[in-house]
């Protein structure tokens, strides 16, 4: 710390700003998971009968999930800060506890924080010398706590600390060290030039890189490696114990219950809790996005998004949406987004079209993009040549048709957005629609929220910084993470929320000048209500009957159990389950009428080697294995699961 005094003198420092946590207030090597569990137990013990129906472990997990999504919404918005009061209010709403108990929850958080902190006595001794030299000291912290809470925490943990000139928190100022915005405000409040401020902290980005970019002198003082290792080990132990406890209390038999195998209870026992968890997480994300962005509009992307909107509205009837959040359907598809990117700029439109059509399907792409039967007048050997010709005026007729359609879509977008921040809500997985709209500039500031996110295309992940997968963000099924099994049979999940309507391909002027898509045929809203998949009605009924007093408190456990059951159904189905769930072909979309079978047509014919290849090519490999090998299908299913286990190591 003597070096710090020398540096202050050398820089002619007029203000020393210090970080709070892990700098002035040192944390014991306890992980966040363990601290949250202690908070939940303390809260439940304080409230007694009010929380008698709640498992503290579920509360701790829900608290962690609320914080994760709140910070994710903040990071995508790239401004503002998350407040503990907002986290607590959201948490209590989702566990069925009256928000009047928010102060009690915060008191429990403060008590556990106080017990897990101890003073940095070496720094405090140095601060005394700094103050004696007439240099004021201020605390600048990125924290969900307000100034009052942090001041009280510092006083309790460090009663002998010298006078602090002021305490600045990101929660109060809605400015952060992570993006550097707080430093200019601190300098202005202190009346000191940034060049005459020295900042001390433990975080490389927030306490070193960003203050230096803002003109401050930064001193990086990270915690010792041993402390970091112990805290990470504690986190791993806490997660392992939590998983063990969950597996004990929610043991899933290796043999799936008969009613699930038959598919008769799949909607109520498995998919209901899973889609309910999606609705809960979407509710949290939208609320905290609105707290940062102001008024927002959640646009649910056709077609699957129409089903998601219906389920979320059912959920919102019990957990009301904030007044500054608007819900609306968006008539869009990957084809519409590709058209917009083609006209208004998008570097990846060629790669997306090649992925869907192949590199030489020139005529098919031209007709899909123009929404006509027009063929290119010139001869092009690749899609790249066609796109180049279109953008450079070599195909004026095609370009006029494409541009007209793109302009109609943009007009519709502007009407729906109405100057608000946009959150695109879609099924998944890669987020191609958002990626193309972001590159065209239309959705460059928008959020994108998916059921699940996965880089199955391998076409780049730059847009993932603004794309959130609410249920999972893995790049494939990972044994041990049950909910990721939806990626092993994604078409089941997606088909449940897709209405029996055409994909959006073109727009026209309707009555009164409104813009109407080809999807919006007469009675289309009724067809959204009457979903073709029989499980949708069961899922909607489950969400409709959620009790804020009971099932909300145990929703985490219900979700985990349902995820395990789904994993069993997806990875080890019998022939009856395959026939029931794999009977509907899947549309390949992008302006095309063709469909794909869930299980490859060749899996039931030919030699064993050929059938294995057909199994691998199926949309549902574990389901195809039963059809291909009626007697030994389970061995193939085990091999498929083993393949998922070793895939990350091979990659």
Per-residue pLDDT tens digits for 28-72: 988 888 999 999 999 999 988 777 778 898 999 999 999 999 999
Torsion of CA 450, 451, 454, 460, to 10 degrees: -10
Report angle CA 6, 12, 14 to the nearest 5 degrees. Answer: 110
Please check whether residues 128 and 40 belong to one and the same domain.
Answer: no
Q: Which residue has the tokens 């809960």?
A: 280
Residue 590 in domain? no
Return d(Cα 201, Cα 173) in angstroms, integer.
Answer: 19
Please check whether residues 89 and 150 belong to one and the same domain.
Answer: no
Return d(Cα 463, Cα 483) in angstroms, integer.
Answer: 23
Average pLDDT over residues 244-249: 58
Higher-confidence position of 97 and 591: 97
Please check whether residues 309 and 359 belong to one and the same domain.
Answer: yes
Residue 475: DSSP 8-state: S
| Res 272 pLDDT > 50 | yes
Please check whether residues 371 and 484 belong to one and the same domain.
Answer: yes
Tokens representing 443 are 């959705």
Return d(Cα 327, Cα 313) in angstroms, integer.
Answer: 9
Q: How many residues are listed for the chain in this entry?
A: 651
Average pLDDT over residues 540-569: 81
Tell me the DSSP string of 140-165.
EE--SS-HHHHHHHHHHH-TTPPPPS
Per-residue pLDDT tens digits for 457-498: 888 899 999 999 999 999 889 998 999 999 998 888 888 999
Residue 519 in domain? yes
> Which of 53, 83, 115 is a domain's end point?
115
Structure confidence at residue 177 (pLDDT): 95
Write the CB contacts of 5 (distance below 8 Å, at least 6 apart in sequence): 126, 129, 130
Torsion of CA 625, 627, 628, 633, to 10 degrees: 50
Residue 552 in domain? no
Please check whether residues 333 and 447 belong to one and the same domain.
Answer: yes
Residue 626 in domain? no
Residue 421, beta-bridge partner list: 296
Please check whether residues 209 and 301 belong to one and the same domain.
Answer: no
> Which of 524, 540, 574 is a domain's end point?
524
Residue 488 in domain? yes
Residue 78 in domain? yes
User: 25-27 and 325-330: which strand pairing?
Assistant: unpaired
Structure confidence at residue 88 (pLDDT): 96
| Res 548 pLDDT > 70 | no
3-class secondary-structure state, position 481: coil
Please check whether residues 186 and 57 belong to one and the same domain.
Answer: no
* Span of 22-26, 142-146, 346-350 with lowest mean pLDDT: 346-350
Higher-confidence position of 32 and 248: 32
Tokens representing 249 are 């209390």
Structure confidence at residue 140 (pLDDT): 97
CB 553 within 8 A of CB 536: no
Return d(Cα 504, Cα 509) in angstroms, integer.
Answer: 15
Neighbour-count burial of 49, counting CB atoms closer than 10 A to its CB (0-12 exposed, 13-18 middle, 19+ buried): exposed
Please check whether residues 167 and 212 belong to one and the same domain.
Answer: yes
Q: Give how far Cα 45 sits from Cα of 30, 40, 54, 56, 108, Å.
A: 21, 9, 11, 9, 10
Please check whether residues 46 and 20 belong to one and the same domain.
Answer: no
* Closest by Cα among 442, 425, 463 to 303: 425
Write the CB contacts of 229 (distance below 8 Å, at least 6 apart in sequence): none
* Closest by Cα among 311, 250, 281, 254 to 498: 311
Residue 485 in domain? yes
| Res 649 pLDDT > 80 | no
Return d(Cα 207, Cα 220) in angstroms, integer.
Answer: 7
In terms of residue numbers, what domain contains 141?
Answer: 2-28+120-220
Distance of CA 243 to the CA centre of its chain: 22
Return d(Cα 61, Cα 555) in angstroms, integer.
Answer: 10
**Count of structural domains, the chain:** 3
pLDDT band at 245 (very low <50, low <70, confident <90, very high): low
* Closest by Cα among 613, 622, 624 to 642: 622
Chain-wide mean pLDDT for the chain? 89
Return d(Cα 597, Cα 601) in angstroms, integer.
Answer: 7
* Span of 73-82, 328-337, 421-430, 508-517 with lowest mean pLDDT: 508-517
Average pLDDT over residues 562-587: 85
pTM of structure? 0.92
Average pLDDT over residues 574-579: 86
| Res 549 pLDDT > 50 | no
Buried residues in 356-374 as b, exposed as e (16+ CB within 10 A): bbeeebbebbbbbbbbeeb
* Span of 208-217, 388-397, 462-471 with lowest mean pLDDT: 388-397
Residue 464 in domain? yes
CB 399 within 8 A of CB 370: no
Please check whether residues 92 and 191 belong to one and the same domain.
Answer: no
Strands (E), 331-432: 421-426
User: 586-587 and 197-201: which strand pairing?
Assistant: unpaired
Structure confidence at residue 598 (pLDDT): 85
* Closest by Cα among 347, 327, 231 to 286: 327
Tokens representing 105 are 């929850």
Average pLDDT over residues 134-148: 95
Structure confidence at residue 242 (pLDDT): 65
Return d(Cα 486, Cα 586) in angstroms, integer.
Answer: 16
Q: Say which CATH number the domain at 200 has.
A: 3.40.50.1000
> Which of 492, 524, 556 is a domain's end point?
524
CB 296 within 8 A of CB 323: no
Higher-confidence position of 570 and 1: 570
Q: Which helix (H) or strand (E) holds 449?
A: strand 447-452
Please check whether residues 316 and 422 belong to one and the same domain.
Answer: yes
Furthest C-alpha separation in the chain: 88
* Closest by Cα among 491, 485, 459 to 472: 485
Tokens representing 316 are 């919102």
Structure confidence at residue 552 (pLDDT): 60
Please check whether residues 8 and 77 belong to one and the same domain.
Answer: no
Write the CB contacts of 377 (distance below 8 Å, at least 6 apart in sequence): 395, 397, 398
Tokens representing 142 are 């990125």
Average pLDDT over residues 612-619: 89
* Closest by Cα among 190, 191, 212 to 201: 212
CB 158 within 8 A of CB 119: yes
Neighbour-count burial of 454, counting CB atoms closer than 10 A to its CB (0-12 exposed, 13-18 middle, 19+ buried): buried
* Percent of the residues in the chain that have a pLDDT greater than 70, as a whole number: 94
Average pLDDT over residues 113-134: 94
CB 238 within 8 A of CB 34: yes
Structure confidence at residue 249 (pLDDT): 55
Per-residue pLDDT tens digits for 307-332: 999 999 999 998 888 889 999 999 99
Write the CB contacts of 360 (distance below 8 Å, at least 6 apart in sequence): 381, 382, 383
* Percent of the residues in the chain that have a pLDDT greater than 90, as a whole number: 56
| Res 264 pLDDT > 80 | no
Tokens representing 253 are 């038999």
């Amino acid at each position: 710390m003597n070096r710090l005094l020398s540096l202050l003198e050398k820089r002619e420092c007029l203000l020393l700003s210090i970080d709070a946590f892990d700098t002035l207030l040192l944390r014991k090597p306890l992980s966040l998971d363990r601290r949250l569990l202690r908070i939940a137990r303390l809260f439940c013990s304080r409230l007694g009968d009010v929380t008698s129906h709640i498992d503290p472990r579920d509360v701790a997990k829900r608290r962690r999930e609320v914080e994760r999504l709140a910070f994710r919404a903040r990071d995508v918005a790239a401004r503002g800060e998350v407040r503990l009061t907002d986290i607590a209010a959201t948490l209590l709403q989702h566990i069925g506890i009256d928000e009047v108990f928010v102060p009690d929850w915060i008191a429990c958080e403060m008590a556990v924080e106080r017990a897990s902190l101890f003073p940095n006595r070496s720094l405090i001794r140095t601060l005394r010398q700094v103050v004696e030299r007439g240099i004021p000291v201020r605390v600048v912290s990125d924290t969900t706590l307000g100034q009052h809470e942090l001041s009280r925490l510092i006083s309790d943990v460090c009663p002998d600390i010298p006078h602090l000139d002021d305490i600045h928190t990101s929660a109060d100022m809605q400015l952060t060290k992570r993006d550097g915005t707080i430093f200019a405000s601190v300098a202005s409040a202190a009346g000191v030039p940034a060049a005459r401020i020295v900042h001390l902290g433990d975080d490389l980005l927030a306490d070193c890189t960003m203050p230096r970019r803002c003109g401050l002198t930064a001193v990086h003082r990270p915690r010792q490696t041993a402390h970091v290792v112990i805290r990470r080990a504690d986190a791993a132990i806490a997660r392992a114990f939590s998983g063990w406890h969950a597996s004990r209390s929610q043991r899933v038999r290796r043999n799936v219950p008969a009613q699930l195998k038959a598919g008769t209870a799949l909607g109520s026992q498995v998919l209901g809790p899973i889609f309910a968890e999606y609705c809960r997480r979407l509710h949290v994300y939208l609320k905290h996005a609105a707290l940062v962005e102001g008024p927002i509009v959640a646009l649910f992307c056709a077609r699957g998004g129409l089903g998601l909107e219906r389920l979320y509205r059912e959920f919102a009837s019990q957990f009301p949406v904030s007044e500054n959040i608007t819900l609306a359907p968006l008539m869009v598809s990957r084809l519409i987004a590709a058209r917009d990117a083609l006209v208004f700029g998008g570097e990846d439109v060629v790669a997306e079209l090649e992925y869907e059509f192949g590199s030489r399907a020139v005529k098919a792409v031209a007709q899909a993009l123009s929404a006509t039967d027009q063929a290119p007048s010139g001869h092009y050997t690749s899609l790249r040549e066609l796109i180049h010709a279109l953008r450079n005026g070599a195909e004026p007729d095609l370009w006029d048709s494409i541009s007209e359609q793109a302009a109609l879509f943009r007009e519709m977008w502007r009407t729906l957005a109405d100057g608000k921040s946009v959150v695109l809500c879609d099924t998944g997985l890669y987020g191609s629609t958002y990626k193309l709209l972001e590159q065209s500039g239309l959705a460059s500031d928008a959020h994108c929220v998916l059921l699940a996110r996965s880089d199955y295309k391998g076409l780049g992940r730059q847009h993932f910084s603004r794309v959130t997968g609410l249920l999972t963000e893995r790049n494939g099924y990972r044994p041990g993470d049950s909910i990721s099994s939806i990626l092993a049979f994604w078409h089941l999940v997606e088909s449940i929320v897709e209405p029996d309507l055409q994909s959006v391909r073109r727009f026209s002027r309707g009555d009164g000048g409104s813009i109407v898509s080809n999807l919006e045929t007469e009675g289309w809203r009724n067809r959204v209500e009457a979903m073709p998949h029989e499980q949708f009605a069961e899922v909607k009924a489950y969400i409709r009957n959620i009790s804020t007093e009971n099932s909300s408190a145990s929703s985490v456990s219900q979700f985990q159990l349902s995820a395990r059951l789904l994993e069993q159904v997806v990875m080890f189905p019998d022939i009856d389950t395959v026939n029931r769930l794999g009977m509907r072909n899947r549309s390949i979309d992008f302006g095309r009428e063709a469909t794909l079978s869930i299980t490859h047509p060749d899996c039931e014919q030919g030699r064993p080697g050929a059938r294995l290849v057909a199994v691998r090519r199926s949309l549902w490999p574990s389901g195809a294995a039963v059809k291909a090998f009626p007697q030994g299908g389970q061995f193939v299913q085990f091999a498929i699961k083993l393949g998922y286990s070793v895939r990350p190591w091979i990659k």
